[in-house]
Amino acid sequence: MTCERIEELLSAYLEGELAGPDKAAVAAHLAACPGCAELAGLMRDALGAMAGFPEGAPSPGLMAALYAIPERKAARWRRVRAIREFLARPALQPVYAAFTVLLIAVTFVLYHPEAQGLRKAIDVQFHKGVGTVEKLYASAGGLKGEIRAVSADVIKSFKNLDLLKGGEEKKE
Amino acid sequence: MDLNEVIRECLAGSQSAWETLVNTFAKRIFNVAYQFSGSRQEAEDKTQEVFLKLYGALPRYDAGKNFQAWLLTLAKNHLIDEYRRTKWEKTQRDEFDERVLAQTAGADPEQDLVEKETKVLVWEGLDRLSADMRMVIILRDLQGKSYEEVAEILDLPLGTVKSRVNRARLQLALVLKDARGGTS
């Protein structure tokens, strides 16, 4: 037998599953081949080590979490049902209707055969709107300057009133 | 109580039946997860996930089948899928449980030392096996399942299981050989 064949039969040999000529052939090979004999010894050691491996106990915390699984699942199901019931309220139907109309409009704008022209028109209108707002803003800026000038004049005139000067004359 | 009866009661919503199921199988699932992941924390998380899956899958259980094998298949699939998804093999295995090392104290201190060292090496060597190899060796050599049971859990032919077990053991033997510097 070759060393490769011995490696294939090693587990069966160590577990006593080989019988007859196979068992005798493996035993004879192991007696004559130090490499395979070493491997068999190491495998025996590994099997012996695994036989004494730990069997840990789950912690009380883990057990409590496992016991609580049905309650957790039920709580989750209750939350899902509450959300579903909220979304199915008749009061929300106008919102869904409005949303649907909006969606149709958006779809129309995006996918209509003449959508490009439509988008162009919207774009033009939008830029017109922006231009108008800019003009208004600029006018508002000019108006603000005028108001400031007028208010300065009013204050100046108010200070020059004779009525206020008369008070000072009385003191003298 | 008959296991099928317990499962029927679980499906009917009985909390005490569920606790019976947990008490019966939690330790085994936890140990498979611990031996597979090498981390107690990881094992606790995975045990919870397996039982969550079990709770959801219970209505699909065929009463004619071996429940323990069915549950171990569920656990094996979850552990291997998660291992491949998250690559937790990069994480270090926990230190080998010292309480177990203490158990081996015998008459020959030198022999005890060798045995302790071998256990630590094999424990760490499990990380060097592929997920499939590790699972097969855990079921056969750590959980003590027969080849037939392992074949049922893994849904593989008996010959394939025997061959995988042998190859996994050879790999662990080579881990020992490397660690001992090529001498036994």
Mutation to test the A interface, candidates B113, B118, B137, B175, most A Cβ within 10 Å: B118
Q: Chain A: nearest CA to B183, how far in angstroms?
A: 8
Give residue B92's pLDDT.
65
Give residue B177's pLDDT.
92
pLDDT beyond 60 at B105 = no
Q: Is there a contact between A42 and B174 if contact means CB atoms under 8 Å apart?
A: yes
ipTM: 0.85
Of B15, B26, B141, the CB nearest to A58: B26
Single pTM value for the model: 0.71
Of B122, B166, B174, the CB nearest to A49: B122
Exposed / middle / buried, residue B130 (Cβ in 10 Å: 0-12, 13-18, 19+): middle
Q: Are B26 and A58 in contact (CB under 8 A)?
A: yes
Residues of B in contact with A39 (CB under 8 A): 170, 173, 177
pLDDT beyond 90 at B174 = yes
Distance CA(B18)–CA(B179), nearest Å, equals 46
Question: What's B90's DSSP letter?
Answer: G
Exposed / middle / buried, residue B159 (Cβ in 10 Å: 0-12, 13-18, 19+): exposed
pLDDT beyond 60 at B97 = yes
Per-residue pLDDT of A62-108, as tens digits, reads 999 999 999 988 888 899 999 999 998 888 899 999 999 999 988 88
Q: Chain A: nearest CA to B36, how far in angstroms?
A: 13
pLDDT beyond 80 at B182 = no
Q: Is there a contact between B142 and A7 if contact means CB atoms under 8 Å apart?
A: no
In 3D space, the residue among B27, B57, B31 whose CA is nearest the CA of residue B42 turns out to be B31
pLDDT beyond 90 at B100 = no
Per-residue pLDDT of A151-170, as tens digits, reads 888 888 888 776 666 555 55
- Contact with chain B for residue A6, Cβ under 8 A: no
Q: Chain A: nearest CA to B72, how far in angstroms?
A: 16
Provide the b/e sequence for B161-183 (b: ≥16 CB within 10 Å): bbebbbbbbbbbbbbbbebbeee
Q: Which residue has 């996918």 as its token pair?
A: A111
- Contact with chain B for residue A16, Cβ under 8 A: no
High-pLDDT (> 90) share of chain B, %: 63
Question: Residue A51 to residues A44, A101, B100: CA-CA distances in angstroms?
Answer: 11, 71, 11
- Contact with chain B for residue A160, Cβ under 8 A: no
Per-residue pLDDT averaged across B77-91, rounded? 80
Say which amino acid occupies B125. Answer: G
Give residue B85's pLDDT.
85
Q: Is there a contact between A52 and B163 if contact means CB atoms under 8 Å apart?
A: no
- Contact with chain B for residue A65, Cβ under 8 A: yes
Q: Are B123 and A53 in contact (CB under 8 A)?
A: yes
Per-residue pLDDT averaged across A42-56, rounded? 88
- Contact with chain B for residue A137, Cβ under 8 A: no
